[in-house]
Amino acid sequence: MVSIQNIQELVTGRISFSEPLSRFTTFRVGGPADIYIEPATEEEICKLVSYFEDQKFPYIVLGNGSNVLISDEGIRGAVINLERSFGYMEINDDSVTAGAGILLSRFVDQCVQHGLQGVEMLAGIPGTLGGAIRVNAGAYGSEISDHLVEIKVVKNGKIAVMPREEGEFAYRSSALQTVIILEARFHFSPADPVVLRERRKELLLKRNMSQPTNVPSAGSIFKNPSGDFAARLIESCGLKGVSEGGAVVSEKHANFIVNIGDATARDILSLILKVQSTVFEQTGVFLEPEIQFIGFPGEEIRGLVNPPESPQGVTP
């Protein structure tokens, strides 16, 4: 049985109970976490994880909440957030070491200002560095793992340093799903900061023109299928503007679902299921979600990751 007193003895950082998670997600939805914790040091994280695993108490690490949908019922267990104590960044010539909790936007800005080339294409992507590494975030033909050297993680309750190769990075995926990312080291090529700033500005303008950046969303909902684009398929099925409660398929970018102000997680999940099933029925292409679903019963989200048989008369 997990003891609140034991947790308080392990952690000097902030601890709260029944913490509403809507304030920690870019969708601005999500019920409460039983326990919300902001550990202050690597040692505290190791002790906390070991304690939870010994007690078989569920926990997750939540960054900026930009790639997740948390249920209206919230999370039974603990949520660990690293933003407050792991938001640091150190630059030594062309080598950069940064904590998993740093906002990706700040990480990109600092690299650009110091004339380090390679991550300016990630400008405008929300989230933390740790979350971006975990899902191998990318844009415009580049990925964050391209310049990664090594990752410091908590694995089995202990600190470990993994070379990039052990991350097994692929399109929007990695082998880092069962570890807690603490820190990462990168190597970049030098470039003219003026040129990089201009490139970042161009990409931000392009992103703002093509994506609904002024309303709550979680970024791209579905991964792009091989040789095609999820947004094109969704739009071809006439789904732009389709809604469920307060959730709407963006008119600006069909692979975005936006919260127009009063959406619930249930609204968003229902709309994701509707989009996925409609595209499959009309095209035979099964769109695989890019976001994570947390706190939902398994039967509610099983169909999201397991493609059904091809619809009659449609060849994938």
Q: So what's the pLDDT on residue 316?
A: 47
In one-letter notation, the amino acid at residue 199 is R
Round to whole Å and give the CA distance between 268 and 262.
11
Active site residue 14: no
Active site residue 226: no
Please say if the pLDDT value at position 315 is more than 60.
no
Q: Looking at 14, 172, 199, 207, which residue is catalytic?
A: 172
Round to whole Å and give the CA distance between 8 and 155.
22
Q: So what's the pLDDT on residue 299?
A: 79
Do 280 and 311 form a contact (C-beta atoms < 8 A)? yes
Mean residue pLDDT across the chain: 93
- Which part of the chain has CATH 3.90.78.10? 230-305
- Share of residues in the chain with pLDDT > 70 (%): 97
Say if domain 4-80 classifies as CATH 3.30.43.10. Answer: yes
Do 218 and 68 form a contact (C-beta atoms < 8 A)? yes
pLDDT digits (tens, 9 = 90+) for 115-128: 999 999 898 888 89
Active site residue 105: no
Section 267-293 average pLDDT: 96
- Which part of the chain has CATH 3.30.43.10? 4-80
Name the residue with higher pLDDT: 77 or 311: 77
Do 169 and 95 form a contact (C-beta atoms < 8 A)? no
Please say if the pLDDT value at position 313 is more than 70.
no
Q: So what's the pLDDT on residue 312?
A: 52
- Share of residues in the chain with pLDDT > 90 (%): 84
Going by DSSP bridges, is the β-strand pair 89-92/243-244 parallel, antiparallel, or unpaired?
Answer: unpaired
Q: So what's the pLDDT on residue 236?
A: 98
Query: Which of 65, 60, 63, 33 lies closest to 48 in space, CA to CA?
Result: 60
Section 137-142 average pLDDT: 86
- Which part of the chain has CATH 3.30.465.10? 89-195
Local confidence band at 311 (pLDDT 50, 70, 90 cut-offs): low
Local confidence band at 50 (pLDDT 50, 70, 90 cut-offs): very high
* Tokens representing residue 219 in the block: 């970024």
Paired with 32 in beta bridges are 20
Name the residue with higher pLDDT: 22 or 141: 22
- Of 1-15, 205-219, 271-285, where does the model show the most confidence? 271-285
pLDDT digits (tens, 9 = 90+) for 194-253: 999 999 999 999 989 999 989 999 999 999 999 999 999 999 999 999 999 999 999 999
Local confidence band at 310 (pLDDT 50, 70, 90 cut-offs): low
Q: Which CATH number is associated with domain 230-305?
A: 3.90.78.10
Section 75-85 average pLDDT: 94
Do 307 and 286 form a contact (C-beta atoms < 8 A)? yes
Right CATH for 89-195 from 3.40.50.740, 3.60.20.10, 3.40.190.290, 3.30.465.10 = 3.30.465.10
In one-letter notation, the amino acid at residue 160 is A
The secondary structure of the chain, three-state, reads: CCCHHHHHHHCCCCEEEEEECHHHCCCCCCCEEEEEECCCCHHHHHHHHHHHHHCCCCEEECCCCCCEEECCCCEEEEEECCCCCCCCEEEECCEEEEECCCEHHHHHHHHHHCCEECCHHHCCCCCEHHHHHHCCCEECCEEHHHHEEEEEEEECCEEEEEEHHHHCCECCECCCCCCEEEEEEEECEECCHHHHHHHHHHHHHHHHHHCCCCCCECCCCECCCCCCCHHHHHHHCCCCCCEECCEEECCCCCCCEEECCCCCHHHHHHHHHHHHHHHHHHHCCCCCECCEEECCCHHHHHHHHCCCCCCCCCCC
Q: Looking at 71, 85, 220, 250, which residue is catalytic?
A: 220
Local confidence band at 314 (pLDDT 50, 70, 90 cut-offs): low
Q: So what's the pLDDT on residue 89?
A: 97
Section 146-163 average pLDDT: 95
Degrees to nearest 5, angle at CA 279 with 277 and 280: 65
What sign for the dihedral angle of Cα 48, 54, 57, 58?
A: positive
Please say if the pLDDT value at position 305 is more than 80.
no
